[in-house]
């Protein structure tokens, strides 16, 4: 298959003692080889848990309710969701992940060396020395000075930027096919952000991995991604390539987001904000989930949920505006 990852109508549920609530509703997308795929959306729109679900990292009370996730592993095409223990062979080796909070993402009581090597221990049978070599090499690759001594140090002794680099090192040390980066820069200050993103870009080249970049920051998308999916309230509302998203955004929400950003630039306009709130988990509108915030809503939007349709080559959108079948209603 030419795609590294294919997510097919994925559904994720919040299972409490007495209720099951669907947070993510049939999400589908593909990530191509060496492609970097962006997932953008406001916080709480379900992008992170989607990412988590790929590696079966969801923990109580979250679980994947339906769908498949096909991954083109060394062992051929596999459905990650149906895997049991075997998934561990994939984790960290073929798919790896970077998290939002470098500060808390590392175990505070082990040295950096331990934590880098750990991955190797799981997936290779190198001896300690080689592992160490590899670790050092990795650290240099992610641009860490004085790597030697840093190996012996503990997370709490290092800065966020450092830690994130280390996270990247850990993530890439097994040269995975796919790297999932969940808001890798959010917790860092701007200057560092840039460095990290550049780093990821160049590593992507040298390791030729695919990347799923999850963020709420369109800037990051612009910097790193080729293809983008816009999440809203647990659904993909628009999927297209970066260029088209910035210049021909179809979905009202997307354009809303863009205006919010672009208006940042010039002081003439006051900061644009999308009116209203993201529907909080639980209440799911009957029709289009964006309807109540949408300035171009039609009456049909109220009660009929729109489909995610291909409105032009490689450009999907979930909105009645682009659905002629919607017009006559």
Chain positions contacting another protein, by CB under 8 A = 14, 17-18, 52, 55, 57, 60-62, 85, 88-93, 96-97, 99, 101, 104-111, 118-119, 122-123, 154, 156, 167, 170
- Least Å distance, CB 328 to another protein, is 42
Sign of the C-alpha dihedral computed for residues 59, 60, 61 and 67 taken in this order: positive
DSSP letter for 318, please. Answer: -
- Least Å distance, CB 68 to another protein, is 20
Helix (H, G, I), strand (E, B) or coil at 143: coil
Q: Which is nearer to another protein, 170 or 212 (CB)?
A: 170
Q: Which is nearer to another protein, 57 or 126 (CB)?
A: 57
Contact 46, 23 (CB under 8 A): yes
Alpha-carbon dihedral angle through residues 22, 28, 34, 38, given to the nearest 10 degrees: -60
Q: Which is nearer to another protein, 171 or 228 (CB)?
A: 171
- Least Å distance, CB 224 to another protein, is 20
Residue 33 sits at the vertex; the CA angle it makes with 32 and 37, to the nearest 5 degrees, is: 50
Which segments of 208-268 does DSSP mark as H helices, in order? 218-224, 242-248, 252-265
Sign of the C-alpha dihedral computed for residues 298, 287, 272 and 249 taken in this order: negative
Q: How far from chain centre, in Å, is Cα 256?
A: 21
- Least Å distance, CB 28 to another protein, is 23
- Least Å distance, CB 246 to another protein, is 31
Half-sphere CA count of 54, side-chain side, radius 13 A: 32
Helix (H, G, I), strand (E, B) or coil at 164: helix
- Least Å distance, CB 155 to another protein, is 8
Q: How far from chain centre, in Å, is Cα 221?
A: 11
Inter-residue long-range contacts of 150-156, CB under 8 Å, 24+ positions, other chains counted: 150/112, 151/111, 151/112, 151/113, 151/116, 152/111, 152/112, 152/113, 153/111, 153/112, 154/108, 154/109, 154/110, 154/111, 154/112, 155/103, 155/106, 155/107, 155/108, 155/112, 156/108
Sign of the C-alpha dihedral computed for residues 112, 118, 124 and 130 taken in this order: positive
Q: Which is nearer to another protein, 110 or 207 (CB)?
A: 110
- Least Å distance, CB 153 to another protein, is 9
Q: Which is nearer to another protein, 16 or 303 (CB)?
A: 16
Q: Which is nearer to another protein, 139 or 170 (CB)?
A: 170
Q: Which is nearer to another protein, 90 or 230 (CB)?
A: 90
- Least Å distance, CB 52 to another protein, is 8
Backbone angles phi, psi at 302, to 5 degrees: -60, -50
Q: Which is nearer to another protein, 86 or 310 (CB)?
A: 86
């Amino acid at each position: 298959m030419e795609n590294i990852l294919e997510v097919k109508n994925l559904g994720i549920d919040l299972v409490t003692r007495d209720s099951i609530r669907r947070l993510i509703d049939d999400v589908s997308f593909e990530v191509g080889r060496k492609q970097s795929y962006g997932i953008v959306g406001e916080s709480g729109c379900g992008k992170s848990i989607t990412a988590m679900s790929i590696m079966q990292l969801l923990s109580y009370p979250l679980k994947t309710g339906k769908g498949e996730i096909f991954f083109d592993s060394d062992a051929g095409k596999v459905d990650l969701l149906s895997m049991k223990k075997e998934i561990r062979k994939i984790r960290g080796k073929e798919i790896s992940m970077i998290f939002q909070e470098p500060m808390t993402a590392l175990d505070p009581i082990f040295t950096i060396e331990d934590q880098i090597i750990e991955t190797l221990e799981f997936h290779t049978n190198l001896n300690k020395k080689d592992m160490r070599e590899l670790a050092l090499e990795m650290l240099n690759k992610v641009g860490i000075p004085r790597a030697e001594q840093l190996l012996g140090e503990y997370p709490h002794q290092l800065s966020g930027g450092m830690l994130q680099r280390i996270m990247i090192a850990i993530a890439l040390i097994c040269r995975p096919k796919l790297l999932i980066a969940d808001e890798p820069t959010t917790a860092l200050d701007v200057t560092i952000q840039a460095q990290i993103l550049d780093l990821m870009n160049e590593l992507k080249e040298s390791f030729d991995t695919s990347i799923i970049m999850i963020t709420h920051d369109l800037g990051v998308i612009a910097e790193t991604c080729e293809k983008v999916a816009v999440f809203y309230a647990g659904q993909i509302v628009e999927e297209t390539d970066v260029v088209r998203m910035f210049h021909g955004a179809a979905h009202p929400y997307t354009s809303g987001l863009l205006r919010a950003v672009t208006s940042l630039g010039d002081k003439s306009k006051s900061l644009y904000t999308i009116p209203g709130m993201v529907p909080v988990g639980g209440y799911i509108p009957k029709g289009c989930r964006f309807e109540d915030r949408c300035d171009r809503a039609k009456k049909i939007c109220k009660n009929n949920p729109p489909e995610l349709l291909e409105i032009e080559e490689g450009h999907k959108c979930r909105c009645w505006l682009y659905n002629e079948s919607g017009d006559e209603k």
